[in-house]
Amino acid sequence: MATQKKLILDTDLLNVTVNRLCQQLIENHANFDETVILGMQTKGVHLAEMIHEKLEQSLNKHIDLGHLDTTFYRDDFRRRETPVKANATNVPFIIEDKNVILIDDVLYTGRSVRAALDAMIAFGRPRKVELLVLVNRKYSRQLPIEPDYVGSEVNTIASQKVLVELMAQGHSKNKIWLINKEDQ
Amino acid sequence: MSQLSQKHLLGIKNITRKDIDLIFETAKNFKEVINRPIKKVPSLRDVTIANIFFENSTRTKLSFELAEKRLSADVVNFSSSGSSVKKGETLLDTVNNILAMKVDMVVMRHGSPGAPHFLAKHIKANIVNAGDGTHEHPTQALLDTFSIHQKFDTLEGLKVAIIGDILHSRVAISNIFALQKLGAQVMVCGPNTLLPKYIKSLGVKVELDVKKALQWCDVANVLRIQLERQQIKYFPSLREYSLYYGIDRKLLEQLDKEITILHPGPINRGVELNSDVADSDHALILEQVENGVAVRMAVLYLLAGVGTS
């Protein structure tokens, strides 16, 4: 097996991308009075925290940030070899009638986002939900789900993988890789 | 580790420390779920669970049933009174008949020690032991230790005394295994007649004086006197038991430290525990009940995920 790695985003480029995503969010949500942010466990939470910090700095106000775990809502439980480990959900506010920005690192089949939409409903009926992802893997969706805000788009095939390494997880630098696994 | 090492939960003796840690971690997440306005998750929507109770139970059965419903499982209930068991059907036949109706998991309480172990050898479904005679009651031990874990963050080095009718108690045996696997020091305390002969071989301290036991421990798990299991008299009277082993506020105030009190219920108020202790801040009793649902959700959820691919 020859493994090829291609760098999609590094620390500097990620910074530029996150700044741009924040600007887009401010354009659409103005002062965030009616908007809350939900990061999807686990890596979506790190990204959500980065975006949340920047937004609070630029707007100079408090914005609600929650962590959403989708494990108990997945549709592949009892269908995969090893179950996914559950993480903490922490949504200390009501999302009823709010605009929700759902944040994840990579959008691939769309199944995690479907589970997240289910998980979210337990905390109320939002007015509107938008999806922000750092990497959008195009042409790989299994459900009719598309992102509203995209950091970077890549064309991938099933044998490829997007690897997200973030400093918040203990890596020395922020790096997003496209990994190619080919048979020799 | 995101998977249990066992397909069944027959006893704490059969599971590993890693299993217990995984159950605790998952239970913590389920505790958050059951405190939401919408307390239900769809995880087990394609799973059918049979609760088979050959012995009386109120809180364990209710707690299991709630846990199953919060996980969106389909639930069928069976209790031996008024069933074909009374007509002479064997345990295996009863359960096989229930399984023929396509049941995936069985939660069973039975009066005979080892009954769930016997079943596990003969049927495919996951089995959860909800108490087998005087042998084990694993989910009770898990919720007791989980409640202690929630309060103290770790059980490593903690001193826990189990006080009361150890001889007839499956809660005591399962608790001893669970506490030891989690690194706690365990003492049992009760009248000599209610301590099993070989209890020391489990590596626990033995104390006959309840005051000394309370002085030693950080946590006391007080057990009920199981009169229904006692065919002969082990002590002269309940009044005398209460006089020597009953725990009241006065006794706790004589200690030079604060200890935490657990009781698996149902409490015989005024016998092993006085109301001024049972209803005090020292007691974790109602928290144990709340944690019971979360822990049982974790057990059912994790067992459902074992080896299904």
- pLDDT bin (cut points 50, 70, 90) of residue B57 is confident
Query: Over the stretch B208-234, which tens digit does the pLDDT of each residue have?
Result: 999 999 999 999 999 988 777 776 788
Peptide bond into B266 cis (omega under 30): yes
Give the residue from A41, A68, A78, A91 with the most B CB atoms within 10 Å of its CB, the best one to mutate.
A78
Give the residue from A72, A80, A94 with the most B CB atoms within 10 Å of its CB, the best one to mutate.
A72
Tokens for B207, please give them.
């104390």
Find, among A96, A140, A137, the residue nearest to A120 by Cα. A96
CB distance B142 to B23 below 8 Å: yes
Query: pLDDT at position A184, please?
Result: 39
SS (H, E, C) A133-148: EEEEEECCCCCCCCCC
B305 interface with A at CB cutoff 8 Å: yes
Side-chain half-sphere CA neighbours of B72 within 13 A: 12
Q: Does the pLDDT value for residue A1 go beyond 90? A: no
Q: Does the pLDDT value for residue B125 go beyond 70? A: yes
Query: pLDDT at position B82, please?
Result: 61
Provide the phi-psi class of A7: left if phi over 0, else alpha when psi is between -120 and 50, else beta.
beta
Nearest CA of chain B to the CA of A67: how many Å?
Answer: 12
Query: Over the stretch B4-46, which tens digit does the pLDDT of each residue have?
Result: 999 999 999 999 999 999 999 999 999 999 998 889 999 999 9
A118 interface with B at CB cutoff 8 Å: yes
Distance CA B120, CA B107 (A): 12
Q: One-letter amino acid identity for A174?
A: N
Share of chain A above pLDDT 70, in %: 97
Query: pLDDT at position B83, please?
Result: 66
Burial letters B208-246, b for 16+ CB under 10 A, else e: eebeebbebbbbbbbbbbbeeeeeeebbeeeeebbeebb
Give the pLDDT mean for B274-290.
93
A26-34 long-range Cβ contacts below 8 angstroms, 24+ apart: A26/A55, A26/A58, A26/A59, A28/A130, A29/A99, A29/A101, A31/A59, A31/A61, A32/A59, A32/A61, A32/A63, A34/A97, A34/A98, A34/A99, A34/A127
Query: pLDDT at position B188, please?
Result: 97
Query: pLDDT at position B44, please?
Result: 94
Distance CA A169, CA A166 (A): 5
Give the pLDDT mean for B247-276.
92
Listed range (A128-132, B20-24, B67-71, B278-282) with the worst mean pLDDT: B278-282
Chain A partners of B42 at a C-beta cutoff of 8 Å?
72-73, 118
Q: Find the CB nearest B38 among A81, A82, A122.
A: A122
- pLDDT bin (cut points 50, 70, 90) of residue A25 is very high
Query: Over the stretch B97-107, which tens digit does the pLDDT of each residue have?
Result: 888 888 999 99
Find, among B171, B133, B163, the residue nearest to B271 by Cα. B163
What's the burial of A60, exposed, middle or buried (CB within 10 Å: 0-12/13-18/19+)?
A: exposed
**Mean pLDDT over the full length of chain B:** 92
